[in-house]
Structure 1
């Protein structure tokens, strides 16, 4: 497991957002939606006619040429083990998306995206440490509680127990929680007030409705009224803004940093 496991959740999401956030790609995805149903039907017929051997298989991550040190950021090494752990996690998502769209997964491109994400992550970690932020136990507990809720576990203690079952020590978990608090403080200081406006919330609501209509509303029913969705939209828009600020800061830090990429 990556030593930066909590931060990996954020940057995996940012990486996916960066990979598919292009407007043209989004439009193309919408245009391809109608073709997917036909493609699935054709694939189903081919599978029946040709047997299981002709059905598309999930690719395997190609990591045979990964160097021992994937990158260096201001003298700090990003090692093979950390890269491979993060890559395998992202690879699963990317492979599923590629299979659904009928496109071939470009592993070389995915590797470059992943190493750039890890470089950016390391730059933010170094900056957070350089600014001397402090993390209270209350702040660390809040992150645990949020993660427990996201993973549908009853309490932070249950979440801690689940992590320990995966081989993480309490000391390692506490260290990463402290780092996450510092990262949050860094983004908040850089971004300032991130509270979304009413206009931004309504725009997000309309986008949500449009996406569901584009997907045919399969098994979803109608989108709940705006007022009912407002708390969720506020959180969604705020997280998006935080992600954008993180990307800006990473770009700025990268311009001044000594970065060597070996993959």
Structure 2
């Protein structure tokens, strides 16, 4: 789903975790597996003590998080909501830190997570103010996209996976209805996002340059990548429209962040 980051933060993280655990498309999940394998190999080659040290994961610091993390036009983002999201984000950041050797800056990460949740809340409120509605057809289509994205066979499998993470089917459906409304809001803001040939060629040149830097030899042709490039450019335009809208809404909003 191209705009999954626009979901309420906890739900967005749950989707990322599902993709990492069960989907071939979960790049971060694959990266974690590669990292774990590297640590195992290093532990075998450099001694048991060092291998254990590299495998040790830091703990998220949530003791200092206030009961109300932020207030957005009178709506509160609670510690419970924030903690669920922050712990998942921290886990991903910690995995990356093991690869880079840089310690996670938890103060900075807390601010980033809080700001992301504020932005999402602003979009939710704006979608409600504009009267967008989530039809049953739109909701089912989004659920089916999630099923396909995570390599599952049915909606029941998807709901079961979320329930294992402590999220009920009613909670999931409520989040999905909200996401449908946000999608409609962003579509209205973004307007025509169909890319031109020039935009597709620019995206292709950037992608192939990155692949060349990574040492990839068998680079697909423009025509072979055109469908993926089209979705990539559309997503970029939608994300830019969403970020612009968040910035505009933030200027007129009553927002207080306590972390």
TM-score range for the pair, normalised by the shorter chain length: 0.7 to 0.9
- Name the structure 1 match of 2:186: 187
Separation (CA, whole Å) in 1 of partners of 2:47 and 2:161? 41
- Name the structure 2 match of 1:223: 219
Q: What's the Cα RMSD here?
A: 2.7
Residues 104-253 of structure 1 mapped to structure 2, 5 A cutoff? 104-217=103-216, 222-253=218-249
Separation (CA, whole Å) in 2 of partners of 1:188 and 1:124? 12
1:216-259 deviation per Cα after TM superposition (whole angstroms, max 9, x unaligned): 33xxx622222121111111221121111111111110110111
Normalised by the size of structure 2, how large is the TM-score?
0.79
Separation (CA, whole Å) in 1 of partners of 2:254 and 2:140? 35
Deviates more, 1:138-147 or 1:223-232: 223-232
Structure 2 segments unaligned to the other structure (5+ residues): 1-6, 17-38
- Name the structure 2 match of 1:259: 255
Deviates more, 1:54-63 or 1:148-157: 54-63
Residues 63-74 of structure 1 mapped to structure 2, 5 A cutoff? 63-74=62-73
Contact 1:6–1:177 (CA<8 Å) still a contact in 2? no
CA gap 1:54/1:170 in 2 versus in 1, 3 angstroms: closer
- Name the structure 1 match of 2:24: none
Separation (CA, whole Å) in 1 of partners of 2:10 and 2:204? 28
Determine helix, strand or coil for the equivalent of 1:59: coil
Contact 2:54–2:98 (CA<8 Å) still a contact in 1? no
Separation (CA, whole Å) in 1 of partners of 2:162 and 2:80? 19
Separation (CA, whole Å) in 2 of partners of 1:244 and 1:258? 23
Determine helix, strand or coil for the equivalent of 2:47: helix
Aligned-residue offset at 1:171: 2.4
Contact 2:10–2:84 (CA<8 Å) still a contact in 1? no
Contact 1:47–1:55 (CA<8 Å) still a contact in 2? no
Aligned-residue offset at 1:137: 0.8
Contact 1:47–1:54 (CA<8 Å) still a contact in 2? no
How many residues align? The count is 229
Separation (CA, whole Å) in 1 of partners of 2:123 and 2:96? 29
CA gap 1:132/1:49 in 2 versus in 1, 3 angstroms: closer
Structure 2 residue corresponding to 1:4, chosen from 8, 27, 39: 8
Structure 1 segments unaligned to the other structure (5+ residues): 13-39
